[in-house]
Structure 1
């Protein structure tokens, strides 16, 4: 695969994560253009060689039908030769080098060990029918690459409205983007490979596998994956794998991110108190 672009999804809320991701990418020597799909209308000023990438026909269709905003990622399926990552990623190696000997649709997560949230009842029947080793075909929708166009824009929208419609259309806001993108790729004419499985057998790209001393020491001693994806792992600590995220932030950004975490913590504390009060009322 000869990469031509890196694609991500961002808005003002994810700006700090995006900046850390972009700086880590450039630190690997990758100079490819960065296409940024807007999660919503809350945009911000992008760094050099990054541009907002919108497909009005797809964006308008998603907004009109009140689909999950991150489903805008399906724009990627209309492109060849890209690497998509969510904004909560830090690169360790140039993705051009990692992907150069590979072809087809490339995933790099370990959802094959825990495939939950990659399918719905209606899509699982189809995926299981493909092979008894179906878990190797499901993936995290926050990290994937492909060297071929899988759908044209009109074909993509039509497919979503007529196939697996609970997942891709009617209940898309409930299921979000991951099961939908999984079934779209599994229905396309492309071979799916996961680089954390043989023959590549790359180490896990999930930050959650490196959040204690022992696992992080193992991470440091062995060959690292080409990026780490936080994918739901909270960045509330500066220890272990998290230090690689914070090293790409300025002092001002570090302080702002820390304040954001405090605000979230306070909100959770307030909710915990409210829930406890409600339970006390119900139990009395």
Structure 2
């Protein structure tokens, strides 16, 4: 894969996480442009070589149907040769070098040992019919890479509106971008390679696997060190252990600001009040 761009999703709430991600990427020697999908209209000033990337047709469709804003990630399927990461990611290696010998759709998470969060009751039937080895085909929707355009705009929206509607289009599927994205990728039959499985055996990219001091201390010594760390819901509540990889890319004032913020990780991890408001909007639109 000849990586051409990094794609992320962010808004003002996740600005500090995004800045840390961007700085960690540059520290690896990767100078590729970063395309940023706006989670909502709360934008911020982006660093150099970063642009806001909005596909108006996707945004309009998401807003019109009041779908979960993170589902805007599906616009990645309209392009090629990219690495997608949520803003709560830190790069440890240059992704362009890691992905260079690979092709197809590349994942690097361990959801194969905990696949239920990648499915709905509707799509589980599809995956079980597709392969007895279906757990190796599912992945975390917060990080993946692909060298192929999987859909055009018309086919993407049309598929979501006419197939597996409980998963892809039902107004009450809050937080279900992961199940929908897994379905959309697998339905194309693109070859999926997971770097945490043989023959690669890369160590886990999930920060939650390194919360114990012993596992964290071994991280730098592993031959197959992950090329990124993804917090994916793991709270960042102190400066120690795995979280030090995140905080090393913030200034002292930014660390203080982050510590005072009610949002500890991710663009979507908002306050309870905001979550209740979103749920009410979805129910009223049912």
Normalised by the length of structure 1, the TM-score is 0.91
Q: Which residue of 2 aligns with 1:243?
A: 244
What is the alpha-carbon distance in structure 1 between the residues aligned to residue 170 and residue 248 of structure 2? 42
**Counterpart of 1:117 in 2: which secondary structure?**
helix
Q: Which residue of 1 aligns with 2:268?
A: none
In the TM superposition, residue 263 of structure 1 has moved relative to its aligned partner by 9.4
Could you give the per-residue CA deviations for residues 25-65 of structure 1, whole angstroms, max 9, x where no partner exists? 00000011100000000000000000000000011001000
Unpaired runs of 5+ residues, structure 2, are 266-270, 273-286
Q: Which residue of 1 aligns with 2:216?
A: 216
- Provide closer, same or farther for how the CA distance between residues 172 and 2 of structure 1 changes in structure 2, counting only shifts above 3 A: farther
Report which stretch shifted further, 215-224 or 101-110. Answer: 215-224
Asked whether the 8 Å contact 1:68–1:172 carries over to 2, the reply is no
What is the alpha-carbon distance in structure 2 between the residues aligned to residue 219 and residue 153 of structure 1? 41
Asked whether the 8 Å contact 1:167–1:175 carries over to 2, the reply is no
Correspondence 1:6-17 to 2 at 5 A:
6-17=6-17
Could you give the per-residue CA deviations for residues 141-176 of structure 1, whole angstroms, max 9, x where no partner exists? 000000000000111000000000010002464252
Q: Which residue of 1 aligns with 2:55?
A: 55
**Counterpart of 1:116 in 2: which secondary structure?**
helix
**Counterpart of 2:237 in 1: which secondary structure?**
coil
After TM superposition, what 4+ stretches of structure 1 lie above 6 angstroms from structure 2? none
Q: Which residue of 1 aligns with 2:87?
A: 87
Q: Which residue of 2 aligns with 1:78?
A: 78
Report which stretch shifted further, 140-149 or 175-184. Answer: 175-184
Correspondence 1:1-284 to 2 at 5 A:
1-171=1-171, 173-223=173-223, 224-261=225-262
What is the alpha-carbon distance in structure 1 between the residues aligned to residue 195 and residue 215 of structure 2? 20
Alignment RMSD, CA only? 1.6
Aligned residues: 266
Unpaired runs of 5+ residues, structure 1, are 269-284
Q: Which residue of 1 aligns with 2:279?
A: none
What is the alpha-carbon distance in structure 2 between the residues aligned to residue 35 and residue 262 of structure 1? 23
What is the alpha-carbon distance in structure 2 between the residues aligned to residue 255 and residue 132 of structure 1? 49
What is the alpha-carbon distance in structure 1 between the residues aligned to residue 134 and residue 229 of structure 2? 24
**Counterpart of 2:111 in 1: which secondary structure?**
coil
What is the alpha-carbon distance in structure 1 between the residues aligned to residue 264 and residue 157 of structure 2? 39
What is the alpha-carbon distance in structure 2 between the residues aligned to residue 263 and residue 107 of structure 1? 25
Asked whether the 8 Å contact 2:5–2:83 carries over to 1, the reply is yes
Asked whether the 8 Å contact 1:123–1:164 carries over to 2, the reply is yes
In the TM superposition, residue 218 of structure 1 has moved relative to its aligned partner by 1.7
Report which stretch shifted further, 188-197 or 225-234. Answer: 188-197
- Provide closer, same or farther for how the CA distance between residues 177 and 217 of structure 1 changes in structure 2, counting only shifts above 3 A: same
What is the alpha-carbon distance in structure 2 between the residues aligned to residue 263 and residue 148 of structure 1? 34
Report which stretch shifted further, 105-114 or 171-180. Answer: 171-180
In the TM superposition, residue 189 of structure 1 has moved relative to its aligned partner by 3.4
Normalised by the length of structure 2, the TM-score is 0.90
